Amino acid sequence: MLTHAILTPHTELLLQHDLFEGIPAEALPELLNALGGELKRYAAGTDIMRMGRAPIVTGIILTGAVEVSFLNENADQIDMSIFEAGKSFGETMEGANLSASRMFVKALRDTVILRISFRQLYARTECSDPHLWRFTLNMLRRISQKGIFYQHKIRIMGQKSIRAKLSVYLQAIAGEDGAGLREMNQTQLARYLGVERSALSREMSHMRDEGLIDYDRKTLRVLQPDFLAL
């Protein structure tokens, strides 16, 4: 059972997550216990969820980082994203009440995850707990946001050239100044875009020579806004 003492080191981070928007700190233990909440620790390299396997849960990363990926029709691994502390995964699959995972989740570093199971809410015919009701609304919004993310991923995968894939990707991460943080290394970005690492590096080098982009290990900067996909 989760208590205030157990949750105290993570309370500030949890309250910053949109699933707990509008929910006070003192309500967290009762709410999370009602959702079957538990803290799980995973060593770096450990599988958290495996494709085609149970269980499916919603995981909120408290410390560490995870890699979320799936297999395409050629059985090649494609990274969906790298999630660090404060991020979550599994909401859409659990919301769809699937019995087996459709993605891989692996700990990249030693990781602590708050696992919750909100599908049990489906069995309720009413909800008198205002905090549980607020959580349900927050989850609905969260799943909708995930849908937008997956649409963006599908749009990337639908592009035929590496340059076009990068254009769509950069449109999403670039700020008003044209710069975006690199949350993935080159290998991870290549998997995310569904291309070979060497081909990606070569194309990015050409684009920098052409004055379209500039980059270093931490940032990607668009120098020609007209390059971005509409």
Question: What phi and psi values does residue 69 have, to the nearest 5 degrees?
Answer: -150, 170
Contacts 24+ apart (CB under 8 A), 163-167: 163/203, 163/207, 164/229, 165/193, 165/194, 165/195, 166/193, 166/203, 166/204, 166/207, 166/213, 167/227, 167/228, 167/229
What band does 30 get if pLDDT is binned at 50, 70 and 90? Answer: very high
Q: Would you give the DSSP letter of residue 54?
A: S
The two tokens of residue 21 are: 């928007």
Q: Would you give the DSSP letter of residue 63?
A: E
What band does 93 get if pLDDT is binned at 50, 70 and 90? Answer: confident
Q: Domain residues of the chain, as ranges?
A: 4-151, 162-227
pLDDT of residue 181: 79
> Which class is domain 4-151?
mainly beta
Identical topology for domains 4-151 and 162-227:
no
Predicted TM-score (pTM) of the model is 0.71
More confident residue, 36 or 100: 36
Q: Give the architecture (CATH level 2) of 162-227.
A: Orthogonal Bundle (1.10)
Kindly report, residue by residue over 163-216, the tens digit of the pLDDT: 999 999 888 887 777 777 787 888 888 988 889 999 999 999 999 999 998 988
d(CA 134, CA 152): 28
d(CA 27, CA 161): 50
The two tokens of residue 215 are: 């980059």
